[in-house]
Structure 1
């Protein structure tokens, strides 16, 4: 009994740390514009740091990648550099509250849409998704930002890209850390190509003297180590200790924490519009993740190395592995 109580205590601690780390990812992404780094610089730091720390796993990952389908690898890579840049561009045009809300909040919607032809969706999940859509509409119409709807469209697009990555997770036979290594390695390579070719500006590579050391350390710790490694390990422990439902529902608190933290950090306000959007999206995500799994259809959508295909809610719980 004591052991079980201790496990639940560490599980809640791990879940709390996960929520904080997810919020820090949204907050630091919003803060790129006020730092001495460009979006490309932040992306390089984000993916190079975990890659260096997990360098011993590179040979094993290369061998494992050789057994993967090309389409699966492409789906996984969507969650790397493409997702990061689209989210960073959107964050620069909106605010931290919307960044922390719209990206994770819209993923259940897009995952369900991608599986719609192959997976029945229960009425409760449909109602939850409708609530999420209402929250997105509220954010677009009630929340005023300098970037207008452009930033909101980019953040919603980042959610769609993460949904593609989520489906890649279900298809792959890679272990979680192998996924991190593969995505970080190819994303870092893609970032270098884009910066060295001049397609994306980089202060780190072109004028390193203008980059503040504190900014590099902040992004290395919070995004490279915190989001790239610690959040993955903490969330995995929370799921084992508390169960996937409790962990997923607890994760829905991340947008709220992000919006609250943005008030002192960026001088943002939680107006009525953002409050309505937060309430709708968080409620929708909560109900969606509490929806019982849907019986799978007799025809599989694709071969998988991991056995029976889970329903949308189960996929969403697996998708909470941050790269």
Structure 2
């Protein structure tokens, strides 16, 4: 049976200023969390924490905490096509988590910021144009070009000098998150419910891996590392980050919300100064400025707002 909700619109409809400002605030909270999460994932990779248990921190506890929000919908909401739900889990759940966790073993945090959240808005814009007929205004298209150039300035040299195809897992993760962004917009689910349902299915998928790994690696891990991962994986990424991103997508639209993720590499570079004493290069500083302007244009916050044409809805 066909779904009863409207076809996907990747750009948000005209909205009062207050909801738009709330969407921008939610997007900024999200990218700040992502910048910290990048460092946390790298620390977990270096520290040898088992992926199954790390994933249960990310999804298992949030699924329980968010049960009041998603329980009334159930794990298979009737109003959401099964393919849409599957794409949400694929794009931000256990498959995304495992791919990104593997990728962080091949690249330092600075490169992860460029290859993962830095490239994600480009994938969202590409998929929205290819599959849903969204057309970008000249201002927004220019913003995405600036984002691409910013990513090259911030981390292009390091990426080009690196060896190993493992780094390709990170843009693959970015493409998966772009799929999630569009599927989330298609689902129409409230942010808390969407985050809880994705967490529930992801926890189920990761339980066999955690059982195979056993409790030995967790018991042997340093308590400080476990506490840091609990804060990063459960409280920030698993709860606040997913919910904040859901609010941003609902209020700004998929492509505009995704554009803010290009700030994550810039924030990661800035956070590195006080946290680990790592100063960005001159090119990286220029790239940070380009990223800020590019996000402003691509999100519609700067320049003229493009008028979105009618989109082709996906079949249920």
* Alignment TM-score, normalising by the size of structure 1: 0.73
Task: Tell whether the 8 Å contact from 1:27 to 1:262 is kept in structure 2 after alignment.
Answer: no
**Any residues of structure 2 matched to 1:1-323 within 5 Å, and which?**
18-62=30-74, 65-77=77-89, 78-117=91-130, 118-138=133-153, 141-143=156-158, 148=163, 150-196=165-211, 198=212, 202=213, 205-232=215-242, 253-263=263-273, 265-266=275-276, 268-272=278-282, 274-275=284-285, 277-290=287-300, 292-297=305-310, 300-302=312-314
Change (3 A) 1:30 1:280: farther
State the match for 1:321 in structure 2: none
Task: Tell whether the 8 Å contact from 1:91 to 1:99 is kept in structure 2 after alignment.
Answer: yes
Task: Tell whether the 8 Å contact from 1:43 to 1:81 is kept in structure 2 after alignment.
Answer: yes
Change (3 A) 1:29 1:273: farther
Task: Tell whether the 8 Å contact from 2:154 to 2:287 is kept in structure 1 after alignment.
Answer: yes
* Alignment TM-score, normalising by the size of structure 2: 0.74
Change (3 A) 1:21 1:130: closer
Change (3 A) 1:102 1:222: same
Distance 1:256 1:189 in 2: 35
Distance 1:189 1:146 in 2: 39
Change (3 A) 1:180 1:24: same
Post-superposition CA distance 1:32-63 (Å, at most 9, x none): 12335133332221111211212334532326
- Structure 1 position 79, deviation (Å): 1.2
Distance 1:41 1:273 in 2: 38
Task: Tell whether the 8 Å contact from 1:263 to 1:269 is kept in structure 2 after alignment.
Answer: yes
Distance 1:12 1:108 in 2: 15
Alignment: residue pair count? 290
Distance 1:277 1:89 in 2: 27
Distance 1:271 1:257 in 2: 14
Distance 2:283 2:98 in 1: 26
- Structure 1 position 159, deviation (Å): 1.1
Change (3 A) 1:215 1:269: same
Task: Tell whether the 8 Å contact from 2:37 to 2:237 is kept in structure 1 after alignment.
Answer: yes
Distance 1:141 1:239 in 2: 28
Distance 2:267 2:195 in 1: 25
State the match for 2:16 in structure 1: none
Please give the secondary structure, in 1, of the residue aligned with 2:173: helix
Please give the secondary structure, in 2, of the residue aligned with 1:60: coil
State the match for 2:14 in structure 1: none
- Structure 1 position 87, deviation (Å): 2.0
Task: Tell whether the 8 Å contact from 1:93 to 1:151 is kept in structure 2 after alignment.
Answer: yes
Structure 1 stretches of 5 or more lacking a match? 1-6, 305-323
